Structure 1
Amino acid sequence: MDLEPYRGELVAYCYRMSGSFHEAEDLVQETMLRAWKARERYDASRASVRTWLYRIATNVCLTALEGRARRPLPSGLGAPSEDPGAPLTPAFDIPWLQPFPDARYDVDARADLRLALVAATQVLPARQRAVLVLREVLQFSAAEVAEQLGTTVAAVNSALQRARAAVAELGDPGGIGEPDDAGAREAVRRYARAFEAADVPALVRLLTDDAVLEMPPVPLWYRGRRDYGRFMERVFETRGTGWTVRHLGAGGEPAFAAYAPAAGGGFRLHTLQVFTVTGGRIARNVVFADPRVFEAFGLPPEISAEECAEAR
């Protein structure tokens, strides 16, 4: 029985459940181990291998998430800051939501890996989260989900209604609507050029009126062009100009790794920035400074000036 072809989609599923890429990989490894041990008991007349694996993965996730706090973004914890000079004090006690590195796995439904959508589903109890993802994202039938969760079709339908209602109460957190991939990438490329030029007015012109800037593990965040621009002025004043970026993908959204100029020459990795684009403008920028996120994306900590020139 070859289980490896299912690994990528299972990692994506466990990421949607846990909000952590590293945890998702561990959960899938446990899923594969349990499946291999139970392979002799698998009954092909009752379910496909894929459905059977999702049942195991769901049980693994529900056990792991029992009693766990949700993984938020800073914007999910309180009101925005209006002080661009506020101390950037990390809160390492909070289990922050992580982005999904697109290059690591070949996953079909990347749109549902977007940060705003995963953050929205994190407010749900784990079983409701599983029902929502299994039914709405992965398109399993109510009967299949009932089998996977060891419950009834009526219970699945009820949980799905409650999950939909809870997510709907959040409105449209950060632009959950389907992105225009080509338009979104071009918008971020324009933003990157302005960022590398330290051109704050140009950056601000590329934002929506209520654009959000947040920086986990720092719990504060900003909303609106004015405060976004004021904070970016602070960044370039304190860290200097002459940055360079490397473009990436994160959960189906455009992203880039930002490298600040290093004192001895070359560039040092500073942040990973993940963008939500609405109507050709930047609606949200989630800026990650967690070394574990850098590791998941395989980002080199330093690049030389020569490497930067070759990349262009």
Structure 2
Amino acid sequence: MSVPSWFSRSQVHTGGLRETHRDPGHNLAVDFEPFRRELVVHCYRMLGSLHDAEDLAQETLLRAWKARERYDERRASVRTWLYRIATNVCLTALEGRARRPLPSGLGAASTDPGVPLVPDFEVPWLQPLPARYADDPQARAGVRLAFVAAVQLLPPRQRAVLLLRDVLQFSAAEVATQLDTSVPSVTSSLQRARAALATAMPREHEVREPGDQAVRETVERYVRAFEAADVAALVTLLTDDAVLEMPPVPLWYAGSADYGRFMARVFTMRPGAWRAVPLTANGQPALAAYCPDDDGGHRLHTLQVLTVTPAGIAHNVVFQDPRLFAAFGLAVSVP
């Protein structure tokens, strides 16, 4: 079966896959394109990589198009069928791959604010998810960075079961069919996955939504302090055990005191007024940070994803990857 000429890799961002096929026995019109975004999110949860997720969602739609004549609406909905394909595409992609961590998942926190900042590009770091994929309120709990990072600790099949059952709310019978296994096996895997995540995840009620008024005020105050390079003001907005980490640098700090000492070093290295543009990522408040440049303007420095709790900012994951900047559509400089 040949692939249609209108179906290309560029359609991940710009086009669609829509194949209307009518089976005389089923009288079914198969329309795959409306599922593209949620399939990207599912693949992202499975692999922790935005770029891999977009590729694998595309692969899922291609496989679905090739197999469209074998689809039977009497056995499963289009959505259930597509998730079966996507999950198995992800499981195949995960074979032999190392998990995608954050620096805090690799070793102890540093207490030296002056340690050399040496990136490690050999590690397949966890990536953030742009707002265009995470703007559905129902999806936010399943794409928060802490959750996605914790999910990466699970074996791939446990990971799949947890996501299909607890995040996507498929029944145990549906998941058993999607993974070619039994309902008891699904139930056992889910119990083990939940137990493993219980100690790795922050309590959900402690994390506030980006639209919460208190969150907006906290982020606004953080932005003002950051732009002014006011370390003392920054520290007052943190929880006592706040975490700062900076992939691809395998370095992280725990506690507001060390967080503040490191930020003092950053502002000393790049003196002057900074700029911070608020945005969202992974359903969380975030900001694009711009450092002063030699021409009197500001150049893009980092993408920072914040976790805000009632007690303050508890976590800041600072990304410095030009590929991610492009995926988020961030301006490389601001006047």
Q: 2:20 corresponds to which residue?
A: none
Q: 1:55 corresponds to which residue?
A: 84
Q: How far apart, in 1, do the equivalents of 2:287 and 2:244 lie?
A: 15
Q: How far apart, in 1, do the equivalents of 2:34 and 2:123 lie?
A: 34
CA contact 1:8–1:105 (8 Å) conserved in 2: no
Letter in 2 for 1:297: F
Q: 2:305 corresponds to which residue?
A: 274
Inter-CA distance 104–12: structure 2 relative to 1 (3 Å threshold):
closer
Cα displacement (A) at 1:161: 0.4
Q: 2:152 corresponds to which residue?
A: 122
Of 138, 141, 151, which aligns to 1:111?
141
Q: How far apart, in 1, do the equivalents of 2:316 and 2:207 lie?
A: 17
Q: How far apart, in 1, do the equivalents of 2:244 and 2:129 lie?
A: 19
Inter-CA distance 116–31: structure 2 relative to 1 (3 Å threshold):
same
Of 212, 227, 235, which aligns to 2:258?
227
Q: 1:101 corresponds to which residue?
A: 130
Q: 2:191 corresponds to which residue?
A: 161
Q: How far apart, in 2, do the equivalents of 1:78 and 1:176 lie?
A: 27
Q: Does the residue aligned with 2:139 lie in a helix, a strand or coil?
A: coil
Task: Tell me how many residue pairs correspond in the alignment.
Answer: 303
> Is it true that 1:19 corresponds to 2:45 in the alignment?
no
Cα displacement (A) at 1:168: 1.5
Letter in 2 for 1:149: L
CA contact 1:184–1:280 (8 Å) conserved in 2: no
Q: How far apart, in 2, do the equivalents of 1:235 and 1:179 lie?
A: 28
Q: Does the residue aligned with 1:247 lie in a helix, a strand or coil?
A: strand
> Is it true that 1:203 corresponds to 2:228 in the alignment?
no
Q: How far apart, in 1, do the equivalents of 2:223 and 2:215 lie?
A: 12
Q: 1:36 corresponds to which residue?
A: 65
Q: 1:132 corresponds to which residue?
A: 162
Q: How far apart, in 2, do the equivalents of 1:211 and 1:110 lie?
A: 21
Q: How far apart, in 2, do the equivalents of 1:129 and 1:270 lie?
A: 33
Q: Does the residue aligned with 1:245 lie in a helix, a strand or coil?
A: strand
TM-score (norm 2): 0.88
Of 216, 234, 238, which aligns to 1:185?
216
Matches within 5 A, 1:250-269: 250-269=281-300
Higher relative contact order (CA 8 A, sep 6+): 1
Q: 1:303 corresponds to which residue?
A: 334
Q: How far apart, in 2, do the equivalents of 1:130 and 1:245 lie?
A: 37
Deviation digits for residues 113-164 of structure 1, max 9, x if unmatched?
0111100010001110000011001100000000100111000000000101
Q: How far apart, in 2, do the equivalents of 1:187 and 1:97 lie?
A: 26
Q: 1:214 corresponds to which residue?
A: 245
Of 293, 298, 322, which aligns to 1:291?
322
Percent of pairs with identical residues = 68
TM-score (norm 1): 0.94
Cα displacement (A) at 1:262: 1.3
Provide structure 1 residue ranges, at least 5 long, that are not aligned to the other structure.
305-312
Q: How far apart, in 2, do the equivalents of 1:176 and 1:153 lie?
A: 31
Q: Structure 1 stretches (4+) deviating beyond 6 angstroms?
A: none
Cα displacement (A) at 1:166: 1.0
CA contact 1:208–1:225 (8 Å) conserved in 2: yes
Task: Name which one, 1 or 2, has greater alpha-carbon Rg.
Answer: 2
Q: 2:22 corresponds to which residue?
A: none
Q: Does the residue aligned with 2:190 lie in a helix, a strand or coil?
A: helix
Q: How far apart, in 1, do the equivalents of 2:133 and 2:149 lie?
A: 21
Task: Provide the aligned C-alpha RMSD in A.
Answer: 1.4
Q: 2:75 corresponds to which residue?
A: 46
Cα displacement (A) at 1:170: 2.5
Provide structure 2 residue ranges, at least 5 long, that are not aligned to the other structure.
1-29
Question: Which range is displaced more, 102-111 or 219-228?
Answer: 102-111
Deviation digits for residues 39-88 of structure 1, max 9, x if unmatched?
11100000000000000000100000011111000001111000000000
Cα displacement (A) at 1:111: 2.1
CA contact 2:278–2:287 (8 Å) conserved in 1: yes
Q: Does the residue aligned with 1:259 lie in a helix, a strand or coil?
A: strand
Cα displacement (A) at 1:4: 1.0
Q: Does the residue aligned with 1:109 lie in a helix, a strand or coil?
A: helix
Letter in 1 for 2:184: A
Of 241, 245, 250, which aligns to 2:272?
241
Q: Does the residue aligned with 2:316 lie in a helix, a strand or coil?
A: strand
